[in-house]
Amino acid sequence: MVSAIVPASDLHPLPFAPYRDVPTVELEERIRAIKGEWSDRLLILGHHYQQDEVIQFADLRGDSYKLSQLAAQSQTCRAIVFCGVHFMAETADILTRPEVDVILPDMAAGCSMADMADLDAVEAAWSDLGEYIDTDDLMPVTYINSTADLKGFCGRHGGIVCTSSNARAVLEWAFAQRRRVLFFPDQHLGRNTARTMGVSLSQMPVWDPREPLGGNSPDALRASRVLLWKGHCSVHQMFRPEHVAQFRQRFPGIQVLVHPECTMSVVDAADLVGSTEFILKTVAEAPAGSTWAVGTELHLVNRLAQEHPDKAIHFLSPMVCMCATMYRIDVPHLAWSLENLAQGTPVNIIKVPEDTANWARVALKRMLEVK
């Protein structure tokens, strides 16, 4: 990770450990008090995968990029507390005004998918690929679920960022300029999207950074259109086509709705596939009495069921599939980070180095220009 924790001042930050022993009700009251005192100078951002105990305090809810965009539009906030994971806080820092502090309540809140592609490995892959294909004709595309330095890599090499909502539009933009795409870190989003555009599986080799030439032959690289990084979401990888079959057997007429980070076999078995925002919109607009099995993070699915009691909404797995790193943000960490902010000893400030931030903004700007 290229971002750094800015050291707290000499006023001695409040230690975290005592917060574990404070009753939740008291911590919630203290959080509300700080929100009231800071008013519009403070924005608490809550990703859809957060626990209900945390999301209740969010001023804005959304996916990672939507939240950062909304925060960047605020002209009054002086601090953002991002209840999400590390790469999301980095994106918020990249897009917001320099004087805004972005705080991550728990630095252990990372993303296993983002960790599957690091700058050293991507630069090494780029160099190796240059021995067999023309990298001037290779477009780097990073999913927004990646570190700031990989967004910066894309910016420097003429590349772009995508979200699960606009991945197809981004790939169309990339192919209009170059013959090939290097897509990282999530192989499933890349594969599922490229297939809808007519790219064959034989043209989509997987690049394993632990293997020579990514585990591919020179001929496979030369025949490629989309090189897929060997990465995945640990949550969405848990869903299986047999889960879809089981729900169809139990509930005739059920609609199966999944995220494109799921494997190709699950996507093929589903009725509808789309981003988190697409899932929310689809369920909200579905007729009363309809039945759904939803393949995405557990907290989000449970919240959908609570918010739409007129529909039968099921979680598409017999196993618990929650984002364990997102789950690290809890009420004690939120209260601790807010009270340190209020007393002038902010902790866990995420700051992306300016050179990386500048190039990452270039890649993000390209994404925003894609129609």
Mean local confidence (pLDDT), 81-96: 92
State yes or no: pLDDT of 302 exceeds 80.
Answer: yes
pLDDT value of residue 105: 96
Annotated domain spans of the chain: 4-110+326-354, 114-233, 236-315
All residues at 6 or more sequence positions from 143 whose CB lies less than 8 Å from its CB, including other chains = 113, 161, 162, 163, 164, 167, 183, 184, 185, 186, 189, 190
Q: Is the peptide bond before 185 cis (omega within 30 degrees of 0)?
A: yes
Q: Is the pLDDT of residue 319 over 80?
A: no
pLDDT of residue 158: 97
Which of 178, 187, 133 is CA-nearest to residue 159? 178
Mean pLDDT of the chain: 92
Tell me which residue has tokens 């909200």: 284
Per-residue pLDDT band at 64 (split at 50, 70, 90): confident
| Dist CA 322 CA 58 (whole Å) | 19
Percent of the chain at pLDDT exceeding 70: 95
Half-sphere exposure (Cβ direction) of 121: Cα atoms closer than 13 Å? 20
Topology, domain 236-315: Rossmann fold (3.40.50)
Q: Which residues pair with 141 in a beta bridge?
A: 160, 183
Cα 183 to Cα 141: distance, rounded to the nearest angstrom = 5
pTM: 0.89
> Is residue 322 very low, low, confident or very high in pLDDT (cuts 50, 70, 90)?
low
Q: What is the pLDDT of residue 110?
A: 73
pLDDT at 77: 92
pLDDT bin (cut points 50, 70, 90) of residue 267 is very high
Q: Please give the pLDDT value at position 327.
A: 65
Check if 4-110+326-354 and 236-315 are the same fold. Answer: yes
Distance CA 227, CA 180 (A): 8
Residue 3 has pLDDT above 50, yes or no: no
More confident call, 9 vs 84: 84
User: ∠ CA(201), CA(205), CA(211), 5° rounding?
Assistant: 155
* CA distances in angstroms from 102 to 51, 82, 234, 247, 255, listed in the order given: 20, 7, 26, 42, 39
Of the candidates 185, 190, 220, 193, which has an alpha carbon nearest to the alpha carbon of residue 205?
220
Q: What is the pLDDT of residues 13-63, one digit of tens each?
A: 999 999 999 999 999 999 999 999 999 999 999 988 888 899 999 999 987
pLDDT tens digits, 123-163:
999 999 999 999 999 999 999 999 999 999 999 999 999 99
According to CATH, the superfamily of the domain at 4-110+326-354 is NadA-like (3.40.50.10800)
